Amino acid sequence: MMSIPIPVIKWLIPLTYFGLIATPVTSQFFFPATPILVWLLTFFCARFIPTPVRPTINVTILPTLESVWYGANISNLVTTHRHWILDVIAWFPYGLVHYVVPFVIAAIAWVYAPAKGAANRNGHKPYSALQFWGLVFGIMNIIGVIVQVSFPCAPPWYELLYGLLPADYSIPGSPAGLARIDELMHSHSYSSAFGASPLVFGAFPSLHAGSATVEALFMSHFFPKFKAFYWAYVGWLYWATMYLSHHYLVDAVAGACLATACFYILLPEHLRDPQGLPSNADIGKEKILPMSSVRSSNIGHRRIWSAAADSEFALDDLPSQLDSPLDGQNQSHLNLLPDSESRSSSISHANSAVHSRSQTPNKQPNQAPRISSSENHQEHPEEEILFDNEQNSPSTSSHTSRIEKHVL
């Protein structure tokens, strides 16, 4: 069987990736994942750093900090009592759930968290919750790997196997407490994986703890209903990192601090209050109404989210350029109402028309949004509401009533 040459594979991987980025269907998934892919590439390439240029491995600093800050070696205390049931309880979040949760959160963010289109319609940068998730998760792990490479520290299992003797980069990784899981399941999965780890002395900071923390922060921010459940998982995983002798408590604290800093620094302004921003699931249910000819030619208004218009069509909140003179093409709209008496009459007819439309079911799929009765036209006699019917798309003969506001 003919094998594919290694150089061909090396070129196929980036070409395939850029092809996925360039394709609209796949780019919505692979573009937000770019920081995560950069982190994975950085992690696995750490093995190729020449040993002579690598920093000295710190063996005593973490247990010393643990004893000074907390009065005892918490990791050793946690591992004092061992049982196979505790092994399984610790293995579940550390060796299984940890690798699945990021994908689950990405799927939830894509369907139910604020979508890219929501940012566009509200006048903000096109930045979705899914993109933010990929960015914060990837950047946090990239920073963590850089710290681990620049400041290598021995994990608790090294102290159990070698004491406080100086360490070198020839020492292979150890599954530590996960070796008991291999024995329980009659496998060598974790022994093989950790034995071939490219970052054997990457104990500080704990990216297991950092990942759990940023996951809880993200879910608590966008889906706060189950906040207690998210943070219970975080505490569970913190305990598992120490029980399995992979991290000291100070490692978990450092990972949590890194995750918290990355989350709040990278959180964009328009996602700080996600309530009311539509998700992809909402966009699939609602209709996005197109701009009319008047707005598109003179004003440049953005498209209006029909669900928001049903609750309150806040015309005064929409930015406009009505201070500038209108061109001759649309001046005819203003000439329809030459005096204040006609304007008042037209406003009354407009309110009656809107009221009748809200009372009468409309079977057409492209129904215009209703106007809230809270709009006080007496306070703004100079405002006019005109109705402009235009075809929604070339494929349908139905027309959508558009609501236009002009200042005489």
| Residue 392 confidence (pLDDT) | 43
CB 174 within 8 A of CB 194: yes
CA 335 to chain centre: 50
| Residue 276 confidence (pLDDT) | 59
Which class in CATH covers the domain with range 32-271? mainly alpha
| Residue 281 confidence (pLDDT) | 59
| Residue 201 confidence (pLDDT) | 93
How do the pLDDT tens digits run along the chain, 408 residues long? 445 556 666 677 777 777 777 777 777 777 778 888 889 989 988 888 898 899 999 999 999 998 888 888 888 888 888 889 999 999 999 999 999 999 999 988 888 766 665 444 545 445 678 888 999 999 999 999 999 999 999 999 999 888 888 899 989 989 999 999 999 988 888 988 898 889 999 999 999 999 999 999 999 999 999 999 999 999 999 999 999 999 999 999 999 999 999 999 998 887 877 775 656 655 555 544 444 444 444 444 444 444 444 434 444 444 444 444 444 444 444 344 444 444 445 545 555 554 555 555 444 444 444 444 444 444 444 443 433 444 444 444 444 344 344 333
Domain spans in the chain, listed from the N-terminal domain onward? 32-271, 288-407
Q: Quick one: which of 279, 207, 284 has its CA closest to 246?
A: 207
CB 203 within 8 A of CB 251: yes
What are the CA-CA distances from residue 371 to residues 119, 121, 343, 353 (Å)? 23, 19, 18, 10
Q: Quick one: which of 171, 199, 172, 190 has its CA closest to 45?
A: 199
CB 241 within 8 A of CB 204: no
